[in-house]
Structure 1
Amino acid sequence: MTDTRDAAPVQPPHADTRDHLRTHHGDEVNDRYEWLRAKDDAAVLAHLEAENAYTDARTTHLAGLRDRIFDEIKGRTLETDLSVPTRRGSWWYYGRTVEGSEYGIQCRAPLAGDDDWTPPVLEPGVPVPGEQIILDGNVEAEGHDFFSLGSFEVSTDGALLLYGTDVEGDERYTLRLRDIASGKQLADEIPGTFAGASLSPDGRFVVYSTVDDAWRPDTVWLHEIGADAASDTRLFHEPDERYWVGAGFTRSDRYLVIEVGSSITSEEFLVPADDLRAEPRSVWPRREGVEYSVSHAVVGGEDVLYVLHNEDAVDFELVRVRASDPTGERTVVIAHESGRRLDGLSTFRDFAVVGYRRDGLQRLALFDYARSAMAELEFAEPLYTVGMGGNPEWAPPVLRLGYGSFVTPGAVYDYVVASGELILRKQQPVLGGYESSDYAQERLWATADDGTRIPVSLVWKRSFGTPGGDGGARALHLYGYGSYEHSIDPSMSVSRLSLLDRGVVFAVAHVRGGGEMGRRWYEEGKLLHKRNTFTDFVAVARHLVDTGWTSPDRLVAEGGSAGGLLMGAVANLAPELFAGVLAAVPFVDALTTILDPSLPLTVIEWDEWGDPLHDADVYAYMKSYSPYENVREDAAYPRILAVTSLNDTRVLYVEPAKWVARLREVGADALLKCEMSAGHGGVSGRYNSWRERAFELAWLLDVVGLAD
């Protein structure tokens, strides 16, 4: 490996150590960097600024490469573009991007007629007859360093726009309403809301949620448009700190559904959409460990609910109940099948769509109400991602789908329900002569310490030869997550091409804790089984080295958020396997966070990680793997880059700041980059995001000796 770092002596910032004792279950810990948690302390801010200056100095030699990668991303992206229109009511809705603008522009155009289900073909620079601009993100973002939309919805009659904006990065949104035809702003303004507000079907009300002191969405509110927000009605409040609350209307517009859930238990309540002040009615009373979700349909003239649940069905089954008596007789319509994880159901007037996983891939099937039968949609590629697109209408003759793979740019299809025809409406344009046939993708399997087979997905450029074969050992970028039953599915990335075209192989380790292989896959990577997530990733890395795909001096690992915990853990477990570790908004001080119920979201997280505050066994287990707690004196660590954001409310900046300080104590080459005006998702604006990713990829290429 060629180390092209600037040879000029640059000293890292020194973080003072201050005694901070905590004792749990008879174990006393002196957390000497805990003082960095004081976000408003001038000394803390000065330290973060010093870390940024140090990172800038250490990476200044990569400025040219960063610029080239940014130009490559920009050059492959059609900057002035339009999305495929989605029909709702009397309008086609779509988004625009304009060259030089950071944010999208939301627009609409009128239908040609009631039977118009063929979206207009939109081309950049060609005027759209009757176009109306609903919201221009660039206008809304003026004067702000950060901008994000958390709610965006148009009323059923097309007259009103509801939208929520965050200009800090803390995921707290101010709701506003606008008359679309006139552009006039209504007087209604509701600050401090959570994402995902909705307009009632009759356009009279706004349903929104707010959070408690721990930043948990706990209350659902009803706002009558035109009334003072101070008089809003509290529809529902959940006092149990383990549960999140959300709300939304069924596609049929028949009910408001209030959803209450932890990571292992859920309960849903129905409120008639025409009587929103009515008492919410529980569908099934909550039972610890039972999750379910509800979809409304009308079958044989009767209101029914389809309930997807895991009661005595680890990978879920689907039952039908009467809406008037949901706790009464259940009819099983899709029986439980081990290894086929039912993920979701979308009901329409005449049919439904079932989403599920089998063999590590997403699947979609059309569901016939009368026969309770599924017909799976087939796709040719061995690795792919498919999912439902925007389908707001209750009785559509076509379904909007999204499809893609590691080598196939994201595509939008309309599926004709009557004929089964798939109509390609648009494929993400990739400029610069991209040809999918120039790249190859493959699924292989590694073996974990306990004999479990771990799926690994890979993509590379063919011209460099087959890795491990005629192409020999190659630089390899290994990504992992492995928490919350979240799956990392194959998708094409424009920025990733800057790696592939330089000979780097990209791989995803589908470790336990994720959802790729069903619910048991998740359960075997959480709570007191969490170490499986880390050892699985190490097993994948070793397999890729042992089979000649790569070598330790050319292997860089990446993960973010809970995947950042994975990065910190594997750096401690097997530092010799990696040349570099890229950790984005990393959850690396997990024990400290999960011990403190006053911190955002901690109590909710106990179902995922365990409760170390009250359980000594959980405390000892978490302490055995938490990256900050387990930095090793005897290890030669790989180069580490930690990226975080000052205003992140999910994984606080203090976690990577403490981790980096501790790593430096043992001589690790660790860098910290802290965005001072961003949140958990990083910077806002597409050009800013491209520059951020170019920074990370340039660092990665430098680590594997491919900085040009």
Structure 2
Amino acid sequence: MTTPVPPRAEQRETTREHHGDVVVDPYEWLRDKEDPAVLAHLGAENDYAEAVTADLQPLREAIFEEIRSRTQETDLSVPVASGPWWYYSRSFEGSQYSVECRAPRVEGAPRPMPEPGSEVEGEQVLLDSNAEAEGHDFFALGALTVSPDHHRLAYAVDTEGDERFALRVKDLRTDKIIDTAVDEVGYGCVFSLDGQYLFYTRVDETWRPHQVWRHEVGTSATDDVIVHEEDDERFWMGVGSSRDDRWLMIGLGSKTTSEVRILDAADPTGEFRVVAPRREGVEYDVEPAGDRLLIVHNADSIDSDLAWAPIDATSADQWQPLLRAEAGERFQGIDAFDEVAVLSLRKDGLTALRVLARDPGQPSGFAGRHDLEFDEPVYAVGLGDNPESATTTLQVVFESMVTPKTVYDYDVVSREFRLLKRQPVLGGYDPTQYEQRREWATAADGTRVPMSLVYPAGAEPDGTHPGLLTAYGSYEISSDPYFSVARLSLLERGFVYAIAHVRGGGELGRAWYDQGKLASKKNTFTDFVSSADHLVESGWVATDRLVAEGGSAGGLLIGAAINLAPTRFRAVHAAVPFVDALTTILDPSLPLTVVEWEEWGNPLADPGVYAYMKSYSPYENVHQAAYPAVLATTSLNDTRVFFTEPAKWVARVRENTTSGPAERPVLLRTEMVAGHGGKSGRYDSWRQVAWEWAFLVDQVGAASKDSRN
């Protein structure tokens, strides 16, 4: 049998010079997706990846079938009450996408909880994404919202993967599309109170949402009006409304500073009012709550406080303290209802919910509080869909690494939970067959790094198990424990699955994030390597059976980690990886560059930042070493991390690795019609996961379920 020969990218020298440092880059030409030579190279890489892994097709098919067979393909979500309707989503066996529905709400009648596939009396289909996606290889929604009077539906469609959407409005009384005037919009949209106007965002050439527009439904887009234009290139924006639909809201934010503007939804042509002018380094979120505003802000505390202000507030001087974060807590957001408010926070490294009772006799309007309690060692909890403010029963969503996603009604008066739905897992799933735990690795500087582990019940740290380690570690995004049907295919093959909660994420509060950004970014990478070392040294994973996976900024983490410790990992998967970080952050014309300077620093202006980024950027630091097997996956239409980055990185790793291509291949796989999130349909997504995990599983000799050791 002929051994496949890896593609060899042509070397065309491109010179980059900054701060007296001259860099010759032989692969920078792999940038223009319209260039036939670039497309030919990506095609050759895809062919090579398929050829090298051809013998894994049975394993890929097995993993796909395991995912499919455990999934209840015909299902529906928990119906949610809003006005005169119950709203819910359906899925059907064989269909890639969901179907959005509603049914009449009868006063005094209980919530409809039909069996999957059965009919609901009076059901109306709002949007069938399968019909919308017909004829397209990719489909995604960027907005889906119903007008306050429940007569109109606005939704935004992307069929390329470039996250630029076409806006559509449907009259739900006639089931007819009544507006297709607006294209090329960003995420999100919101109706005015009367449903006559629609507010949406537009993105600039760097894919930054920089404008909010007002569109009168049924008119030409040429008549649309700019409501706000953001000239500070560090700031993003989004649009929304209050829970009671009384207020339209524009949220603006950089990585360190924010500002909120609100407008009476009954006066859509009026001027938005600034709640508090932006102050450098101060972030705040606003929740209208009747006659006042509730505000989570970091003006006085790194981990944020809760304040209140009059509904007509225009300055932070009007904020009055309501609740301060205690040690080990990080306030993240507030949701207001008629009888309570619910604070979302992090507490001791996990997510938490705190209920604040309303008390009109208090100046703040609140008195008394309690936290929701759960008895698992690692988990994630948050509010579900609660569109109505006049309720004392809240939808709460809970999951862990062994408990499937579970939706409860929580009675804030009796403090009792009522189970509404637990994600079905077919095939006799038994959570007692798996165990989860919290482990702590010790970083190079002595910092303790938390890890969440799940593994087959009864497994002992005897140094024999295969393991997969993953992390993210940027933007204060937390990698919280979650349940995964797909992950069961790894656990059944004896894997120990670990999430490293490295610095740069938000798991342990704002300081945890600050210690993994800017001039402290390397902590993210060394934390990950220390977590890998801990898995091996503690016996949870065999020395030669550890694989790793990360996506986007987590792909940067993977690239940096294998430069630091190339022999620690048997194989890695870097998905849409930000591996040529310095080149990207040096070019303000590229998407997201300027808004990222507060995360990474500005290497254009600061030679110190330039030198620091150059010292860790994966592409810059590939060297002669016995690298692990590498799979890099990307999408041609990704607007966040260009395919160029993994294409260049793979070429350089392949050029420098001393490992044999037969045992430790270096592969690049590009989806030619997809975006940052990969393939869009659920079956396509499952096949993509099966392809990627088959590669990792094979590398550690765990293809068979009876070969755990």
TM-score norm. by structure 1 comes to: 0.96
Check if 1:29 corresponds to 2:18.
no
- Distance in 2 (CA, whole Å) between partners of 1:134 and 1:271 is 28
Aligned residues between the structures: 691
Q: Which residue in 1 is equivalent to 2:565?
A: 574
Check if 1:695 corresponds to 2:691.
yes
Q: Which residue in 1 is equivalent to 2:118?
A: 126
- Distance in 1 (CA, whole Å) between partners of 2:682 and 2:601 is 37
Q: Which runs of 5+ in 2 are unaligned?
A: 360-365, 660-664, 705-709
* Residues 384-395 of structure 1 mapped to structure 2, 5 A cutoff: 384-395=379-390
1:322 Cα offset (Å): 1.1
1:375 Cα offset (Å): 0.9
State the SS of the aligned residue for 1:429. Answer: coil
- Identify if the C-alpha distance between structure 1 residues 29 and 372 changes in structure 2 by more than 3 Å, giving closer, same or farther: farther
* Residues 539-688 of structure 1 mapped to structure 2, 5 A cutoff: 539-633=530-624, 635-667=625-657, 669-688=665-684
1:49 Cα offset (Å): 0.5
Q: Which amino acid aligns with 1:293?
A: D
- Distance in 1 (CA, whole Å) between partners of 2:292 and 2:597 is 35
8 A contact 1:257–1:269 mirrored in 2: yes
1:111 Cα offset (Å): 0.8
Moved more, 59-68 or 365-374: 365-374
1:285 Cα offset (Å): 1.2
- Distance in 2 (CA, whole Å) between partners of 1:692 and 1:83 is 25
Check if 1:92 corresponds to 2:86.
yes
* Residues 464-483 of structure 1 mapped to structure 2, 5 A cutoff: 465-469=458-462, 472-483=463-474
Q: Which residue in 2 is equivalent to 1:212?
A: 204
1:311 aligns with one of 299, 303, 317: 299
- Distance in 2 (CA, whole Å) between partners of 1:460 and 1:260 is 42
- Distance in 2 (CA, whole Å) between partners of 1:8 and 1:578 is 28
- Distance in 2 (CA, whole Å) between partners of 1:479 and 1:566 is 10
8 A contact 1:387–1:403 mirrored in 2: yes
Q: Which residue in 2 is equivalent to 1:3?
A: none
* Residues 228-627 of structure 1 mapped to structure 2, 5 A cutoff: 228-298=220-290, 303-327=291-315, 328-370=317-359, 371-462=366-457, 465-469=458-462, 472-627=463-618
1:562 Cα offset (Å): 0.2
- Distance in 2 (CA, whole Å) between partners of 1:201 and 1:222 is 13
8 A contact 2:100–2:127 mirrored in 1: yes
8 A contact 1:407–1:440 mirrored in 2: yes
Q: Deviations over 1:25-61 (max 9, x none)?
A: 1101111100000110000001000000000000000
8 A contact 1:252–1:348 mirrored in 2: no
8 A contact 1:664–1:670 mirrored in 2: yes
- Distance in 1 (CA, whole Å) between partners of 2:68 and 2:235 is 42
- Distance in 1 (CA, whole Å) between partners of 2:112 and 2:215 is 36
Check if 1:197 corresponds to 2:197.
no
Q: Which residue in 2 is equivalent to 1:181?
A: 173
Q: Which amino acid aligns with 1:468?
A: P
Q: Which residue in 1 is equivalent to 2:662?
A: none
- Distance in 1 (CA, whole Å) between partners of 2:409 and 2:264 is 32
Q: Which amino acid aligns with 2:132?
A: E
Q: Which residue in 1 is equivalent to 2:363?
A: none
Q: Which runs of 5+ in 1 are unaligned?
A: 1-6
State the SS of the aligned residue for 1:677. Answer: coil
Moved more, 179-188 or 90-99: 179-188
1:91 Cα offset (Å): 0.5
8 A contact 1:398–1:416 mirrored in 2: yes
1:350 Cα offset (Å): 2.2
- Distance in 2 (CA, whole Å) between partners of 1:678 and 1:274 is 39
1:482 Cα offset (Å): 0.3
8 A contact 2:257–2:283 mirrored in 1: yes
8 A contact 2:276–2:313 mirrored in 1: no
Q: Deviations over 1:609-654 (max 9, x none)?
A: 1101111000000000000000012x11000000100000001000
* Residues 100-139 of structure 1 mapped to structure 2, 5 A cutoff: 100-113=94-107, 115-116=108-109, 118-139=110-131
State the SS of the aligned residue for 1:517. Answer: coil
State the SS of the aligned residue for 2:276. Answer: coil
1:215 Cα offset (Å): 0.8
8 A contact 1:511–1:533 mirrored in 2: yes
- Distance in 2 (CA, whole Å) between partners of 1:105 and 1:207 is 24
- Distance in 1 (CA, whole Å) between partners of 2:629 and 2:679 is 24
- Distance in 1 (CA, whole Å) between partners of 2:397 and 2:181 is 35
- Distance in 2 (CA, whole Å) between partners of 1:474 and 1:292 is 45
- Distance in 1 (CA, whole Å) between partners of 2:701 and 2:333 is 44
1:707 aligns with one of 700, 703, 709: 703
1:280 Cα offset (Å): 2.0
Q: Which residue in 2 is equivalent to 1:71?
A: 65
State the SS of the aligned residue for 1:374. Answer: strand
Question: Which ranges of 4 or more aligned residues in structure 1 deviate by more than 6 Å?
Answer: none
Q: Which amino acid aligns with 1:344?
A: G
1:381 Cα offset (Å): 1.1
8 A contact 2:553–2:577 mirrored in 1: yes
1:479 Cα offset (Å): 0.6
8 A contact 2:635–2:643 mirrored in 1: yes
1:372 Cα offset (Å): 3.7
Q: Which amino acid aligns with 2:633?
A: V
- Distance in 1 (CA, whole Å) between partners of 2:425 and 2:646 is 35
State the SS of the aligned residue for 1:48. Answer: helix
Instruction: Please provide the CA RMSD for this pair.
Output: 1.2
8 A contact 2:273–2:314 mirrored in 1: no
TM-score norm. by structure 2 comes to: 0.96
- Distance in 2 (CA, whole Å) between partners of 1:459 and 1:393 is 37
8 A contact 1:265–1:289 mirrored in 2: yes
